[in-house]
Amino acid sequence: MKNLRSFLACLLLLVAMQTFFAVPFLSIQQAMGSAGIPGWSISLFFAVVVGLLVLRYHETASTQLTAFARLLTRMSATRWLALMIVFGLALRILWFLVFPASPSSDSATYITLATGLSQGEPYHIANTWAFWPPGYPLFLSFWFMIFGPSLLVVQIVNLGLFVGTLLVVYKLAGKVADEPTARLSTLFLTFWPSYMTWAGLPAKEQVLIFIIPCTLLLFLSATRGQTVKGQLIPIVISGLLLGGATLIQPSMMLFPTVFIFTSILCRFQIPRTTGQIILLVFCMGLVVAPWTLRNYKVFDQFVLISTNSGSVLYRSNNPLATGGYTPRGEIDLSGYGELEADAMGKQLAKEWIRENPVQFFRLALQKQVRFLGDDSLGAYDTLRRGNLPVSSQTFYATKAISNAFWLIAWACIAVGILNILRRRHSMEAPLLPLLVFCFFYLYALHSIVESASKYHMPLIGIFAILASMSVYGAPGRDSHTNRDQADTGRTLHD
């Protein structure tokens, strides 16, 4: 099992190298229209240089980060969290006061749907009844019914989600790692530029950023539970949250596979864990089922959640596909009804993939570059699509800061992986496999369907913890931490 965990860590290290290549490559491609040979050369050179620097100085970097993280622990946990919450809220409020962007594209659609639901109107837009997944509009409509539909309500909800995410990430990082890792994770999360600059706009990913670490934390709590109540309640809550996440983003319906792979790799008590995962999936179904019944009444046939999966799959896999969003495929499906377009899209996409395996593989690599190569979505949605009189210099400066932070985070992830591989005892804890499987779930998914930087946004909390792993397992931890880790190992393993 240790060899498998080391292999998993090495895969993440390769993805870090891919990120070092993808960021300059995608920037050149966006600026020039095509990267060409110069773009490939520059990007490869950049990736090799950064990779060599990380390899050469990873021990020094880990030592410095560990010393810094331990410095953060001199403050009490309550004061530290309060400080991060105050800083985080202040930065976000300041951002959307200085840059009061208007919702556009998907964000505007969510506002329209949520407003209609809050006023008792049916879930219907642009002649479709289930094209848009309902989870996020339903979530917003709850708040709109209480406070009225407005962008201010969305912003306040986003601030609340940030506070919740910060607390959950702190708890998750500290549960099976240590206090320095938890402190550094919250610091990363608080100042993450793309997360901060996106706070003023409606986006379903804002909710997923909170739900994903919540479900991981609850799953780990269930595996450590000493009583039936302690094992079942976290699983039930986790299942209900994942059901909500599935209504928000239907691709989340297979997320329990993350827990299955983690359970196998970390040698959890399989009979007990199997029962827990079955219960989790059942609870997910309880949340999704009412919407499925609604769809059956509307269409007189089974539609689990939405009718957009065929369209997305085909637009992502056809001769015109670029790896990112395209308005149509080679065959335009816009003239068909939503059920017909959904079925035709799935069929056409499967046929193209079977007949063009090489092109499909190349397209998958392009999708991975889009997934990893940019982290400036907040800047783009606010400063470019937010109907603001903002100069290009402001946008490009914010974009550069966001992507520089993204590269630093991945450099820290690479440093952490190298040090964890060197301290092989650190591979015993389930935190790293759980986080890595969580990342690879979305990474693999968006190697098949359309990809962009927004699709890695739900993992911001996970990235914050991974970027802090270089301080986990460092020599010199106090005996209390060592005892906690030993107890964790005895509880989680057979």
Domain boundaries, the chain: 2-23+36-492
Query: What pLDDT, on a 0 to 100 scale, did the predictor assign at position 430?
Result: 54
This prediction has a pTM of: 0.93
Whole-number pLDDT of residue 483: 35
Q: Which pLDDT belongs to residue 273?
A: 83
For residue 479, count other CB atoms closer than 10 A to its CB: 7
DSSP string covering 68-89: HHHHHTTS-HHHHHHHHHHHHH
- Token pair for residue 283? 């609870």
Query: Torsion over CA of 317, 323, 328 and 334, rounded to 10 degrees?
Result: 70
pLDDT value of position 475 = 52
End-to-end CA distance of the chain: 13
Neighbours of 410 (CB within 10 A): 26
Residues 421, 8: Cα–Cα separation, whole Å: 10
Q: Within 13 Å, how many C-alpha atoms sit on residue 24's CB side? A: 17
Residue 356's φ and ψ, nearest 5 degrees, are -135, 65
CA 157 – CA 207 distance, rounded (Å)? 10
Q: What is the pLDDT of residue 477?
A: 42
Asked if residues 315 and 450 have their Cβ atoms less than 8 Å apart, the reply is yes
DSSP label of 101? P
pLDDT (0 to 100) of residue 178: 87
> What are the tens digits of pLDDT across the range 400-431?
999 999 999 999 999 999 987 876 545 455 56
Picking from 434, 417, 136, the residue whose alpha carbon sits closest to that of residue 261 is: 434
Structure tokens at 218: 């609850």
Whole-number Å distance between alpha carbons of 398 and 380: 9
CA angle centred on 180, ends 456 and 89, rounded to 5°: 55
Whether the CA torsion 263, 165, 284, 348 is positive or negative: it is negative
Query: What is the reported pLDDT for 457?
Result: 97
Residues of the chain with confidence (pLDDT) below 70:
1-2, 268, 423-431, 473-494
